[in-house]
């Protein structure tokens, strides 16, 4: 009997997340046919090498050891380069797969060359505002700051970007776009990737019936370091994607945020 070949590669990037990754891997195994997918763990945390190796053996996952913490974008590229399946999904370690839905994700990706984001919900069932959004520009930042805009979706919704914490795409799309921009260490690499995909004619969608639970930010030890990484990635995105005058405005906005002493946008 010829073994069934997997059609989707599920990639996790680990940093300080092994305790959550264990639950994430278990949740997938509870809901999906193991022959349908392969698991890849890119480990950015040398302190967790042994436990990640154990998890790899337990869940038949391929483990890729990075040379230290190389950042999310570079780790994703390392993982996708090893993929032999036509479809790829990126999942955060601090997520739970809550229902049988991988076949439906695959069907929708085959129907259209696009990007698909799963709805991110917290442990109380509330949809996260950081799961997807509209195009990023300076006025959008101000709008989000003033009104704390929380998007929601109940059915299929076309969006401009979806979170890399639950992002699915065709392998050929990723290769054509050149993967993630490794200048981003953490944050905005998914926004950048979705923008380049949109420009190439590959839209992004979020579906209300595709969802996972996300225990947000569990891999981050230092809020200060987290905020610094966010600001740096945001500055690089505006330098790359937005006009010069928005870059100047952004510098003023960052100064205002520091004076206001807020932890995040």
Answer yes or no: is 228 within a domain. Answer: no
Answer yes or no: is 251 within a domain. Answer: no
Answer yes or no: is 264 within a domain. Answer: no
| Residue 87, domain extent | 8-221
Of the candidates 129, 128, 198, which has an alpha carbon nearest to the alpha carbon of residue 160? 198
pLDDT at 140: 87
In the block, which residue shows the tokens 């069932």? 125
pLDDT at 122: 87
**In total, how many domains does the chain have?**
1
Run of H or E residues at 51:
helix 49-58
CATH number of 19's domain: 3.90.550.10
**Biggest distance spanned by C-alpha atoms of the chain:** 66
Rounded CA-CA distance 67/84 in Å is 23
What pLDDT digit, counting tens, does each position of 35-74 carry?
999 999 999 999 999 999 999 999 999 999 998 999 999 9
Answer yes or no: is 152 within a domain. Answer: yes
pLDDT at 125: 82
Answer yes or no: is 156 within a domain. Answer: yes
Rounded CA-CA distance 67/51 in Å is 17
DSSP structure string for 161-214:
EE-TTEEEEEHHHHHHTTSS-TT-SSSSHHHHHHHHHHHTT--EEEEEEEEEEE
Residues lower than pLDDT 70 in the chain: 1-3, 129, 147-152, 154, 216-222, 260-265
Q: Which structure tokens are listed for 42? A: 């890119």
Contact 99, 211 (CB under 8 A): yes
pLDDT at 219: 57
Residue 50 CA from chain centroid, whole number: 25
Where on the phi/psi map is residue 68: left (φ > 0), alpha (ψ -120 to 50), or beta? left
């Amino acid at each position: 009997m010829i073994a069934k070949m997997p059609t989707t590669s599920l990639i996790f990037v680990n940093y300080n997340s092994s305790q959550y990754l264990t639950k994430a891997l278990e949740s997938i195994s509870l809901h999906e046919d193991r022959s349908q997918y392969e698991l890849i763990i890119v480990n950015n945390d040398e302190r967790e090498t042994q436990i990640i190796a154990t998890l790899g053996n337990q869940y038949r996952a391929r483990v890729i050891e990075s040379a230290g913490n190389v950042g999310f974008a570079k780790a994703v590229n390392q993982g996708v380069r090893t993929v032999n399946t036509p479809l790829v999904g990126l999942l955060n370690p601090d997520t739970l797969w809550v229902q049988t839905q991988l076949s439906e994700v695959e069907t929708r990706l085959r129907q259209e060359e696009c990007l698909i984001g799963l709805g991110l919900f917290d442990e109380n069932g509330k949809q996260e505002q950081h799961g997807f959004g509209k195009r990023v520009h300076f006025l959008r930042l101000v709008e989000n700051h003033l009104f704390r805009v929380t998007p929601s979706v109940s059915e299929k919704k076309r969006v401009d970007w979806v979170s890399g914490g639950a992002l699915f795409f065709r392998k050929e799309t990723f290769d054509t776009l050149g993967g993630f921009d490794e200048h981003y260490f953490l944050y905005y690499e998914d926004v950048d990737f979705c923008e380049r995909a949109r420009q190439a004619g590959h839209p992004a969608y979020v579906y209300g019936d595709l969802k996972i639970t996300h225990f947000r930010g569990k891999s981050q030890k230092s809020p200060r370091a987290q905020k610094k990484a966010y600001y740096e990635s945001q500055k690089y995105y505006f330098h790359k994607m937005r006009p010069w005058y928005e870059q100047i405005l952004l510098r003023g906005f960052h100064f205002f945020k520091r004076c206001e002493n807020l932890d995040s946008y």
